[in-house]
Amino acid sequence: MVVLALIVINKAGGLIYNRTFGDGLNQLNTNDYLVLAGTFHGVHAITARLNPLKGLMHAQHQQQQAAATAGGVAIPSRPDPPSGLEVLETENFRLQCFNTLTGTKFLLFTDTMQTNIDVAMRRVYDLYSDYVMKNPFYQLEMPIRCETFDRKLNSYIREINNSR
**92-122 pLDDT, tens per residue?**
899 999 999 889 999 999 988 888 899 999 9
Q: What is the pLDDT of residue 51?
A: 67
Q: Are 132 and 146 in contact (CB under 8 A)?
A: yes
Q: In what order do the strands lie in the sheet with 87-89?
A: 15-20, 3-9, 105-110, 94-99, 87-89
Q: What is the pLDDT of residue 128?
A: 97
Q: What is the pLDDT of residue 26?
A: 75
- Count of alpha carbons within 13 Å of 79, Cβ hemisphere only? 13
Residues in the chain predicted with pLDDT less than 50, given as ranges, are: none
Q: What is the pLDDT of residue 71?
A: 54
Q: What is the pLDDT of residue 84?
A: 85
Q: What's the Cα-to-Cα distance from 58 to each of 61, 66, 148, rounded to whole Å?
A: 5, 12, 46
Domains of the chain: 3-162 (3.30.450.70)
Q: What is the pLDDT of residue 23?
A: 72
